[in-house]
Amino acid sequence: MKANGSPGVQPEVLLIEDDEAHAHLVIRGFVKQKLSNKIRHLTDGEMALDYLHHRGDYADLPANPCPCLILLDLRIPKVDGLEVLREIKSDNSLRHLPVVILTSSNAERDIAKAYEYHANSYLVKPLDFVKFTKMLSDLGGYWLDWNTMPFQSNRVISSKADN
Amino acid sequence: MLNKPVHGKLAELEMSQAKIFLERSLESTPDGVILFDEKGRFSYVNPALLNWVGRREEDFLGKMLTEVTPPVLSPEDTKMIAERIQARIHSEVSVTAAKLNLIRADGGLIPVSYSAASVKGPGGGVQGEVVFLKNLSEQIKAEEALKKEQDFNSVIVQSSPVFIVAINAEGKVLMMNRVMLKTLGYTAEQINGLDYLSNFVPVADREMLAEVFRQLVQSHKPTLNENHVLTKDGQELLLEWHGRPIFDEKGNFDFFLGLGIDITKRKQAAERLESTTSLLDTIVDNSPFAMWVADPNGTIVRTNHSLRETLNLIDEQIIGKYNVLADTNMDKQGVMALVKGVFEKHEPARFDMLWQAEEAGDAAFRGARDLYIDVSLFPILNAEGELTQVVCQWVDVTERKQAAMALRESEEKFSKAFHTSVSMMSIGEIKTGRLLEVNECFLKTMGFKREEVINKTTSELNIWVDKNQRNTIVKTLMKNGMVRDFEVSLRTKNLQVRHVLFSMDIIKLGDKDLALSIVTDITERVQAAAERERLIADLENRTAELERFIYTVSHDLKSPLITIQEFLGLLKEDIAVRDTEQINTDIRFMATAAKRMQKMLAELLELSRIGRLDNPVEKISLEDTAREATELVAGQIRERGVKIDIQPGLPVVYGDRPRLLEVMQNLIENAVKFMGDNHQPRIEIGARQDDDITVCFVRDNGIGIESQYQKKIFELFDKLDNNSEGTGIGLALVKRIIETHQGRIWVESEGNGQGSTFCFTIAGKEELDES
């Protein structure tokens, strides 16, 4: 299986993570929840912003649709995670997107900055395997099952009713 | 015109001759002549008269005297003469003589004597009148001059202080002048005709004086002798006589004239001294200054009120007791020679002294207070030039002296404060800018000698590093009257720059405006502040770096740990289900993470060592270093097929050889790593001159770096490409090494695919030594 979601498939989650191993872990966790086909993996901040703004390699809108959840690492090349967050939250058309910081940093400065830039949630990657697995499953369930997005409210409600 | 008498021819001829003679005489006489006709009209006026009165003939001819205009006589005279003329015509009066004033045309008067007679015709009847006028102007002038001269002589004789006496050949007194009469006690009437010798000369002098008279008559020469004269009341006066015989026009002896000068000198001198003494007494007594009078031996004989008051003593305590020549104050103050000079050489003296009652030589003075006195001493001499008294005047200047001493004391204090101040101080003339005085600190700090500074301007001394600072100070001083703590730079004589705080005030000295400068050298303070700033900045950098280090460690070092932990968990699951493919993946991720961690730890350790020069500073050829580094990474270069070009011109620097080798190696490795997919990879190593600075560079034709990331790449753990094997420490390490060599590093790149040029500088030897 591939980290990058293939074009054409509707992604639910945009994973921005430079560490290949960590990306692998997240994707594998989502696979368990049968959510893997909804993940799009990007490896640096510049790519993330290009994707969200439909620029450069990601100009084709149908192939690169807007995600309903962004998982963002902080220490990523080129454009720093906090900078990516700030840009998303200061853009009228992107601001509503839930951004969950998923990082190994538990530095107070990072946490404070993330919330200052209106991060929707801040998750520190646990060192413990069981906790890591649990966190990923809770994350998927919360944001992708329970959470309702503004423009998809009808569909989500009906999908919940189906469950 | 004379009427023709009725005579024969001869008579007529005789008449005409007489007429010519008469007319000639009338024309040439210096006297005035007028003829009136039988009616009393002018029939002739001679030229002399016309000349006197400044008129013409026609002003008179045919006119009556009363008809002449302007009148030639006063109205009274005109009336009187006109009446006489009429009277004569009627034969009542024959002759008129008078003194009149003729009135000239210009109004001036001519005194004349007037005499007139009637002219009778042959028949005896009156035919007219002839008038003779004599001009008296010259005569009157001469008379007045004579009178004046006589009066003058008389005044001199009478008012002269010299005795004047005239004695005739018989020895009788003819005349004595007023002074002599008064002195001897006589009146002019009493002495007339008295025998001179027996009445006015004491018996003892008579024989001698008689001989003088005889000599005068014989020799005709003036004599000089002294003899006494007697006053009416029998007193004798001594006179010096200047005798002179006076002769008449025929050369016969007429009379003696004696001029006498009273030479009763001794008495006069005594009188004069007496009056001087009383004047002196008055002055002494009333002087507001303390005065005493000493006898020629120096003993006080007189004091004045002011002296007694000053010393708080009475005359009995001073007079006859104090002797100035015995006053030890004079010796002590070194003025005794001056005092003695007054008594012995009669030279006035003046001096200041401290006079202490204790030293004055008499017990009576013990109660008097000590004084600073301005002493004037002057001798009083009699007519013979002998010292009679010495007058002394004391002016009590104690208060003035104390004020002066207080002033000097404060001046000394100020001067000491000025000269010993640890601030530079100077006093300059505002008008010219010239320095009048500077203190030791100024000279020491600025490196000048006093004589190099005094009377020079600060511009001449070239002490201003920035002329504008001087101008600002002057402007501020003129505007506000002072300057406070301006931070300026001054140049010392040996061209060192000192940072100072400059304050200035205007002070007035007499009528001059002076500027007092107080300058505090803060060079050390400024240097210390700069050093402190540098240390703080350095510390801040270190702290920031440390923070970043701790932060990145918490993140970057944790990442591989997380990887290992999680994949270990997955591995267990995968082993349980015997998923071989997953097992291999898990192990591969764990191994990569472990290796990465190991590398990071090694590099961090390396980084922690930098920040000081570990190895001795030596001369290093960067060209050699570049070659050495190239060999160290030869494997990677060969593998990627990169062409390395080391250009000439790389500098020789001083530094830490192993560290600089590390720099080269890192930069070459970095260039190789980011070559991208270029088919002709190439690295140039060289140097270029940017202004005066030698810039070394490592240039590649690899992927390049966009401008926004060019700074970021030197930060710890920052990397642009997550696919690269780097740990994000390499360039941070290079930067640290360059910085410890007082250099700078940066990257130049046109962006993606345009290649990168890593540039760095290394300080010269001196700069490195300093640090």
Q: Is the pLDDT of residue B490 over 80?
A: yes
Place A126 in a pLDDT band, splitting at 50, 70 and 90.
very high
* pLDDT of res. B686: 92
pLDDT digits (tens, 9 = 90+) for B373-391: 888 898 888 878 888 888 8
**Nearest residue of A to residue B570 by CA position?**
A129
Q: What residues make up the domain containing A24? A: 13-140
**Number of domains chain A contains:** 1
* pLDDT of res. B696: 93
* pLDDT of res. B724: 57
The answer to whether B32 and B50 are in contact (CB under 8 A) is no
Tell me how far apart the terminal alpha carbons of chain B are, to the nearest angstrom: 148
pLDDT above 90 covers a percentage of chain B that reads: 15
**Nearest residue of A to residue B725 by CA position?**
A19
Place A51 in a pLDDT band, splitting at 50, 70 and 90.
very high
Percent composition of chain A: helix, strand, coil (DSSP 3-state, to 5): 45, 15, 40
| Contact residues on chain B for A28, CB-CB shorter than 8 A | 570
How many angstroms separate the Cα of B771 from the Cα of each of A67, B444, B695? Answer: 56, 29, 21
CATH topology of B268-402 equal to that of B421-521?
yes
Task: Determine, for residues B562 and A76 on separate chains, whether the beta-carbon distance falls below 8 Å.
Answer: no
* pLDDT of res. B575: 94
Q: What is the third-level CATH fold of B268-402?
A: Beta-Lactamase (3.30.450)
* pLDDT of res. B612: 55
Q: Residue B230, exposed/middle/buried by CB under 10 A (0-12, 13-18, 19+)? A: middle
- What's A122's domain CATH number? 3.40.50.2300
- Give the Cα separation of B687 and B761 in Å (integer): 10
Tokens of residue A59, six digits: 């100009």
The answer to whether B212 and B193 are in contact (CB under 8 A) is no
pLDDT above 70 covers a percentage of chain B that reads: 90
Better pLDDT: B276 or B233: B233
Alpha-helical regions (H) of B455-522: 467-480
Q: Is the pLDDT of residue A162 over 60?
A: no
Nearest to A77 among B559, B589, B719 (CB): B719
CB-based contact, A4 to chain B, within 8 Å: no
* B9-135: CATH architecture: 2-Layer Sandwich (3.30)
* pLDDT of res. B645: 92
* B613-770: CATH architecture: 2-Layer Sandwich (3.30)
Q: Is the pLDDT of residue A159 over 50?
A: no
Task: Determine, for residues A129 and B566 on separate chains, whether the beta-carbon distance falls below 8 Å.
Answer: yes
Amino acid at B168: N
Task: Determine, for residues A132 and B559 on separate chains, whether the beta-carbon distance falls below 8 Å.
Answer: no
* pLDDT of res. B741: 84
Nearest to A104 among B555, B570, B722 (CB): B555
Task: Determine, for residues A74 and B717 on separate chains, whether the beta-carbon distance falls below 8 Å.
Answer: no
Task: Determine, for residues B552 and A43 on separate chains, whether the beta-carbon distance falls below 8 Å.
Answer: no
Least confident of A106-110, A147-151, B399-403, B557-561: A147-151
Domain B143-263 top-level CATH class = alpha beta
Task: Determine, for residues B555 and A132 on separate chains, whether the beta-carbon distance falls below 8 Å.
Answer: no
* B421-521: CATH architecture: 2-Layer Sandwich (3.30)
Nearest Cα neighbor of B622 from B555, B667, B672, B564 is B667
* pLDDT of res. B92: 65
Q: Across residues B728-735, what is the average pLDDT?
A: 83
Least confident of A6-10, A145-149, B390-394: A6-10
* pLDDT of res. B737: 87
Q: Is the pLDDT of residue B205 over 80?
A: yes
- Give the Cα separation of A98 and A96 in Å (integer): 6
The answer to whether A120 and A142 are in contact (CB under 8 A) is no
Task: Determine, for residues A127 and B570 on separate chains, whether the beta-carbon distance falls below 8 Å.
Answer: no
Count CA atoms within 13 Å of residue A118 on its CB side. Answer: 12
CB-based contact, A32 to chain B, within 8 Å: no
* pLDDT of res. B771: 44
| Contact residues on chain B for A110, CB-CB shorter than 8 A | 551
Residue tagged 């390499």 (tokens): B730
* pLDDT of res. B279: 67
* pLDDT of res. B4: 47
Backbone angles phi, psi at B266, to 5 degrees: -55, -45
| Contact residues on chain B for A44, CB-CB shorter than 8 A | 720, 722
- Give the Cα separation of B394 and B297 in Å (integer): 19
Q: Across residues B274-286, what is the average pLDDT?
A: 69
Better pLDDT: A110 or B138: A110
Nearest Cα neighbor of A1 from A12, A17, A25 is A25
Task: Determine, for residues A129 and B551 on separate chains, whether the beta-carbon distance falls below 8 Å.
Answer: no
Q: Which residues contact B240 (CB under 8 A, 6 or more apart)?
A: B224, B225, B226, B260, B261, B263
Distance of CA B639 to the CA centre of its chain: 95
**Nearest residue of A to residue B554 by CA position?**
A105
Place B587 in a pLDDT band, splitting at 50, 70 and 90.
very high
Nearest Cα neighbor of B67 from B95, B40, B47, B46 is B40
CB-based contact, A133 to chain B, within 8 Å: yes
Task: Determine, for residues B589 and A21 on separate chains, whether the beta-carbon distance falls below 8 Å.
Answer: yes
* pLDDT of res. A64: 85
Nearest to A129 among B569, B593, B720 (CB): B569
* pLDDT of res. A89: 96
Residue tagged 């005896």 (tokens): B124
The answer to whether B304 and B285 are in contact (CB under 8 A) is yes
Interface test with A, best of B552, B554, B556, B566 (most A CBs within 10 A): B566
Place A157 in a pLDDT band, splitting at 50, 70 and 90.
very low
Backbone angles phi, psi at B582, to 5 degrees: -65, -40
Tokens of residue B358, six digits: 């204790």
Q: Is the pLDDT of residue B276 over 70?
A: no
Q: Residue A18, exposed/middle/buried by CB under 10 A (0-12, 13-18, 19+)? A: buried
Nearest to A18 among B566, B567, B722 (CB): B722
* Mean confidence (pLDDT) of chain A: 82
In a domain, A65, yes or no: yes
- Give the Cα separation of B42 and B304 in Å (integer): 93
Q: Residue B167, exposed/middle/buried by CB under 10 A (0-12, 13-18, 19+)? A: buried
Amino acid at B580: T
Amino acid at A70: I
pLDDT digits (tens, 9 = 90+) for B215-246: 877 877 788 888 888 888 888 888 888 888 88
Cα–Cα–Cα angle for B112, B119, B123, rounded to 5 degrees: 170
**Which range, A56-65, B182-191, B350-359, B467-476, has the best average confidence (pLDDT)?**
B467-476
Tell me how far apart the terminal alpha carbons of chain A are, to the nearest angstrom: 27
| Contact residues on chain B for A76, CB-CB shorter than 8 A | 722
Percent composition of chain B: helix, strand, coil (DSSP 3-state, to 5): 45, 25, 25
Task: Determine, for residues B709 and A21 on separate chains, whether the beta-carbon distance falls below 8 Å.
Answer: no
Nearest to B559 among A19, A43, A107 (CB): A19
Place B448 in a pLDDT band, splitting at 50, 70 and 90.
very high
Q: Is the pLDDT of residue B46 over 50?
A: yes
In a domain, A78, yes or no: yes
In B, what residues contact A, Cβ < 8 A? 551-552, 554-556, 558-563, 565-570, 585, 589, 592-593, 709, 717-723
Least confident of A1-15, B175-189, B326-340: A1-15
Place B608 in a pLDDT band, splitting at 50, 70 and 90.
confident
Tokens of residue B271, six digits: 């009188």
Is this complex scored with an ipTM above 0.95?
no
- Give the Cα separation of A91 and A99 in Å (integer): 13
A69-72 β-sheet, strand order: A39-42, A13-16, A69-72, A99-103, A121-124
Q: Which residues contact B224 (CB under 8 A, 6 or more apart)?
A: B240, B241, B242, B243
The answer to whether A17 and A104 are in contact (CB under 8 A) is no
**Nearest residue of A to residue B551 by CA position?**
A107
In a domain, A145, yes or no: no
In a domain, A148, yes or no: no
**Which range, A143-157, B22-36, B336-350, B614-628, has the best average confidence (pLDDT)?**
B336-350
Q: Is the pLDDT of residue A154 over 80?
A: no
One DSSP character per residue, B693-716 reads: EEEEEEEE-SS---GGGTTGGGST
Kindly report the length of chain B: 771
Beta-strand pair A39-42/A13-16: parallel
Reduced to 3 states (helix: H, G, I; strand: E, B; else coil), residue B348 is: coil
Q: List the domain boundaries for chain B.
A: 9-135, 143-263, 268-402, 421-521, 527-597, 613-770
